[in-house]
């Protein structure tokens, strides 16, 4: 019998692994001109706000890619359900 929170725990574990890999992979670095242009487009006050948003998007993107990749690998080669 499967535990009712198994899917939540699995997704949480994968996101934790994505967080660890996010610490190992460098986030995209913006040039000063591009950063200033993005600050004016999004009406941000300083670079700290821009990089906070950039790191959050980077973390979520890596987590989603890792989740989908591990889910595909699990269902393709390791899952016992047919």
Q: What is the pLDDT of residue 81?
A: 64
- Taking alpha carbons only, the member of 61, 76, 62, 81 closest to residue 6 is 81
pLDDT at 71: 80
Among the listed residues 49, 53, 79, 67, the one whose alpha carbon sits nearest the alpha carbon of residue 10: 67
What average pLDDT does the segment 29-58 reach? 91
Q: What is the mean pLDDT of residues 29-56?
A: 92
Confidence of residue 24 (pLDDT cuts 50, 70, 90): confident
């Amino acid at each position: 019998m499967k535990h009712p929170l198994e899917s939540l725990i699995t997704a949480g574990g994968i996101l934790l692994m994505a967080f660890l890999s996010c610490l190992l992979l460098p986030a995209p670095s913006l040039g000063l001109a591009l950063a200033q242009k993005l600050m004016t487009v999004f009406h941000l006050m300083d670079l700290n706000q821009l990089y906070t948003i950039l790191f959050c998007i980077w973390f979520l993107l890596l987590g989603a890619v890792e989740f989908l990749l591990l889910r595909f690998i699990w269902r393709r080669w390791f899952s016992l359900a047919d």
